[in-house]
A and B are shown apart, each in its own frame.
Chain A
Amino acid sequence: MRAEVLKGHLDGLLLAALERDPQHGYAIIEVLRTRTQGSLDLPTGTVYPALHRLERSGLIRSSWLRDAPRPRRVYRLTAAGRRALGESRAIWAEFSTAVTAVLGDRPWSARS
């Protein structure tokens, strides 16, 4: 799936990847790859600044793990992040329903 298709939904995807457990940056990318069976392959370089942006907005917070093989920054959702994730889901549901109503409606000749 092309990155530009995801424009506007990246924040929601990252928040969803953090919903169950705290994760580090690369693990978040792997979660998204696994859950979408590889069809969602985000450019890795875009994910880290996006995580910093979400933290700057107070939707996630980070801490450093020192007992890992390398210093590792781990992100977790905040209460505001959980609310924003709920909003993202509602917006996505509305958006996908609307788009499916148009794009999913195949011409009569294609159905036959």
Chain B
Amino acid sequence: MVGPQLSRGRLGPAEDLPAPVERYLHDLSSALPGRSTSKAAILAEVTDGLMESVETRRQERVDRNDAAEAAVAEFGPAGDLAIAFVREMAGSAARRVGLALVASGPIVGLAWLTAFAVGSGRRWLDELPTVLGWLPGYAVLMFLVIVSAVVAFFAGRGPAVRHLPIGPRWAAAAATVAAVGCVAVDAVLLTHLVRLAIDGLIPVGLAALPALLSLGRSLLALAAARRCLELRAALGVH
């Protein structure tokens, strides 16, 4: 069952939980998507709350199982609790995705521009208009990614949350758009790189670092987009 499995992890030692508490945690765990550390933390916190409630009742000489049943009833339906937690998980996930994309953008971008600059013998800043001019709409796509990532970062978590009219659900949507857009941006760069390499305009060795950075970021962005979609799906219409 979920409780002991969870508590054998990094959050603490195993504990013998009453059957109603075990069932409740199992239902809650099933309703929370994914296998993230935030899910484990939620289950550990709810376990502590439930057991605290059980122990409070036990001090009033209530039978252990009855105390556990009462504690579970006090917490309300596991499905409702899960929805409320998923909303918070979605906000936090959106913030992480936004931060990762905003932080990695300049690093990956500079790596690409430097590779092209070294290949062409020009200054890296002079490569920027060339890169942006490869595809009509490429700059628009980059702008969309940046704006979505910034929205996800500020609307997902942090002091700005109190002032923005965007909830965690839409923050997760912004994070998904940013992550998918980032994959598209990297795909365009990689496609162009292959074309340049085939034409012999850039040494393959020179472009290896930015290509690896873009590939790695794309894989992470795809996983992040999937996670955000999963959380949004778990929220349903809530």
A residues at B contact (CB < 8 Å): 24-27, 30, 43-46, 48-50, 52-53, 56-59, 64, 66, 68-73, 80, 84
Contact = CB atoms under 8 A, between A and B. Distances in A.
**For A30, A57, A80, which residue has the most chain B Cβ atoms within 10 angstroms?**
A57
B74 A44 contact: yes
Interface in B32-75: 41-42, 44-49, 51-53, 56, 74-75
B41 A49 contact: no
Nearest to B52: A26
A43 B76 contact: yes
A62 B1 CA distance: 27
Contact of A56 (B45, B46, B161): B161
Contacts of A49: 81, 84-85, 87-88
B157 interface: yes
Interface of B: 7, 11-12, 15, 41-42, 44-49, 51-53, 56, 74-77, 80-81, 84-85, 87-88, 91-92, 156-159, 161-162, 168
A44 B76 contact: yes
B48 A71 contact: yes
Q: Is the interface of B mostly helix, strand, loop or mixed?
A: helix
**For B45, B51, B77, B81, which residue has the most chain A Cβ atoms within 10 angstroms?**
B45
Contacts of B156: 56
Contacts of B56: 30
B37 to A, nearest CB: 12
B159 A57 contact: yes
B84 A73 contact: no
B177 to A, nearest CB: 21
A52 B196 CA distance: 50
Contacts of A71: 7, 11-12, 44, 48
B48 A73 contact: yes
Contact of B159 (A43, A50, A64, A80): A80
A45 B44 contact: no
Nearest to B76: A45
Given A26-B52, A72-B48, A52 B12 contact: no
Nearest to B12: A71
A18 to B, nearest CB: 15
Nearest to A24: B48
Contacts of B41: 73
Contacts of B47: 70
Contact of A58 (B51, B84, B88, B158): B158
Given A45-B75, A58-B158, A71-B7, A52 B53 contact: no
16 contacts: A24-B49, A26-B48, A26-B52, A27-B52, A44-B74, A45-B84, A48-B45, A48-B85, A49-B87, A52-B85, A53-B88, A64-B11, A68-B48, A70-B12, A70-B47, A71-B44
